[in-house]
Every structure is written in structure tokens, then in C-alpha cells.
Amino acid sequence: MMTSPSHSPGNALRRLRQTTPLVHNITNHVAMTPTANTLLAIGASPLMAHAQQEIQEISAISAALSINIGTLSPSWIEAMQLAAMCAHRDGKPWVLDPVGIGASSLRQYACRALLEYRPSVIRANASEVLALAGEMNQGRGVDSGDDGEDALERASRAAITLARAQNCVVAMTGHVDVVTDGQRQITIQGGHALMGRVTAMGCALSSVVAAFLAASLDGHDDTLQATAAALACYAEAGETAGQSVEGPGSFVPRFLDALYTLDADSTLLASRLELTDVT
């Protein structure tokens, strides 16, 4: 449960829909269209832009930034650094998605460079969290690895270590989601196994987190609460979509519809969250 009703995921969703925050995305080739559709479905406004020459102007009009290293190139890394620098300088929230960081030294270099600009949130699967926390883990390309209880416990500890080291919130997703700022931890239940069978679900979620930060940080929720709200909405939509589909193909449109029709008054949203202090 969240600490007070005013911090409920439903209220955060309502604020997002009322404010339609513009989210600047520098994301990968695979995730661009799914991410834009996902942001539109939940009620935010997407903008994809990665040319260095326009980053400063785009940054000036955006409410939040989402950077995703899924399909890197050297010129994109420079654009990412510039965008992260602008967000950091202007006090705007930004999210880093370290897709497949264990898979190459270019990805590791890019993340190291980007972490200099202090992301508000790192949103990653367990393999990526382990790799970023320095617990050598190559993962399986862009996907997560073991889903067992011991693996979840180990990855949760790594998420806490990472949150403390980077002084940010870490949102680690999988069959259970764990969000931590290093002192508190919120677990989020829900979603559907098919979410792991559709590409760019995590990438799009990172941008949804950015949208929730834009809508909620201004005197409403803190970064941990806003991130947990995003994950609760995603989990709820995923669970709803998964109830009546045959496979990944039909899951995608059902998921977009479920985000679009998500009921901000649903009591299920807050019940998905469990807050604990970290020892």
C-alpha cells in the first residue's frame, strides 16, 4: 500500500491525463513506434528526436526525457549526452533504460557517460540491473535471465546497491517489479507473462515512467512514488490485456486498449503496491 491516498497511482494517472506531458524520447529503432503508441494510449504526448542539432530546442519544450541505448551509434551517444545534460541542468526528470548493457562495451561506455548526468530513474530488467551494479552478468542480449526467488532476491539487493551508488530510483522489472531509492522499496504485482514475449514492452515502460515523473513530481509524488504509480498502471493494463488473448500478436492491441481505458478509480491499482523499508 502507498503511504497516503493522495499518493495513489490513480491520482498520478489522473494528473498525467490532465497534463498530457510531452516526453522527449531518444530510443531504439525497435521501440520507436510501440513507445509512441504506448505514451499516446495512456494519455501522454510522445516526441522522438535524436539529431544533435535539435536536442537543445526539443529539450526546452519537453517535460521529461527518456533515453534508451537499445540500438546505439556514436552520433546517437553524443545526442544522448547532450539531452541528458540539458535535463540535468534544467532540473527536468529523465529516465535511463540500459538495454542489453551486459552485451557490449559500447553499451557500457554509453551508460557510464550518461550516468554523469544523474538520471532520475534507471528502468531495467534484472540482468541489466546486475550488470550495472557491477555484478558481472551478460544477460541474454536484451532479455532478462532467471526468474526464480533466489535470483529475484539477489537482483533486488543489486537494485538497492545501484540506487545508493547513483543516488537515483531503480525500477527493476520482471514477473515481479521492484522499485527502490536505496532506503525504501516498493514491490508491484501484476502484469502478464506475455509481456516478456512482445518486444519493446520494457522500452515503452521506461518512457511511461518519464511521463509519470513529469506529471507528478511538481509537489505531488516523489520519484519513488511516481515510478511505482507508472508500474502499477502498466501491471494492471498487462493483466487485463492478458486475460482474453491467444498470444503475443493479439496481446499488443489489447494492451494499448487496456492502457487507454484504464480506470483511475480502480482500487486494484493501489493494492498492487507493497512498501517496505530497506535494511
Ligand X SMILES: Nc1ncnc2c1ncn2[C@@H]1O[C@H](COP(=O)(O)OP(=O)(O)O)[C@@H](O)[C@H]1O
Ligand Y SMILES: Cc1ncsc1CCOP(=O)(O)O
Using CB under 6 A, list all residues that contact ligand Y.
28, 30-31, 70-71, 99, 142, 199-203
* Interatomic CA distance for residues 107 and 94, integer angstroms: 18
Interacting span for Mg ion (CB under 5 A) from 22-30, 109-117, 197-205, 271-279:
197-205
Nearer to ligand X, 79 or 194 (CB): 194
Nearer to ligand X, 132 or 205 (CB): 205
Asked whether 160 and 278 are in contact (CB, 8 A), the reply is: yes
Nearer to ligand X, 120 or 144 (CB): 144
* Interatomic CA distance for residues 100 and 108, integer angstroms: 9
3-state secondary structure 72-117: CCHHHHHHHHHHHHHHHHHCCCEEEECCCHHHCHHHHHHHHHHHCC
Nearer to ligand Y, 21 or 34 (CB): 34
Fill in the per-residue mask, 116 to 155: x = in contact with ligand X (CB under 6 A), - = not in contact.
---------x-----------------xx-----------
Residues 200-229 that bind Mg ion (CB under 5 A): 202
* Interatomic CA distance for residues 13 and 80, integer angstroms: 28
Chain-centre distance for alpha carbon 215: 14
Q: How far apart are the first and last CA of the chain?
A: 19
Interacting span for Mg ion (CB under 5 A) from 3-11, 183-191, 196-204, 267-275:
196-204
Question: What b/e string do you get for 174-202 counting C-beta neighbours within 10 Å, with b at 16 or more?
Answer: bbbbbbbbbebbbbbebbbebbbebbbbb
* Closest distance of CB 78 from ligand Y, Å: 19
Residue 71 interface partner, choices Mg ion, ligand Y, ligand X, none, CB cut-off 5-8 Å depending on type: ligand Y
Among 191, 213, 236, 252, binds ligand X (CB under 6 A): 191
* Interatomic CA distance for residues 244 and 192, integer angstroms: 11
Kind plus residue range of the DSSP H or E element containing 234: helix 223-242
14 is in an annotated binding site: no
123 is in an annotated binding site: yes
* Closest distance of CB 158 from Mg ion, Å: 16
Residue 195 interface partner, choices ligand X, ligand Y, Mg ion, none, CB cut-off 5-8 Å depending on type: ligand X
193 is in an annotated binding site: no
* Interatomic CA distance for residues 68 and 123, integer angstroms: 10
Which residues form the interface with Mg ion (CB under 5 A)? 99, 202
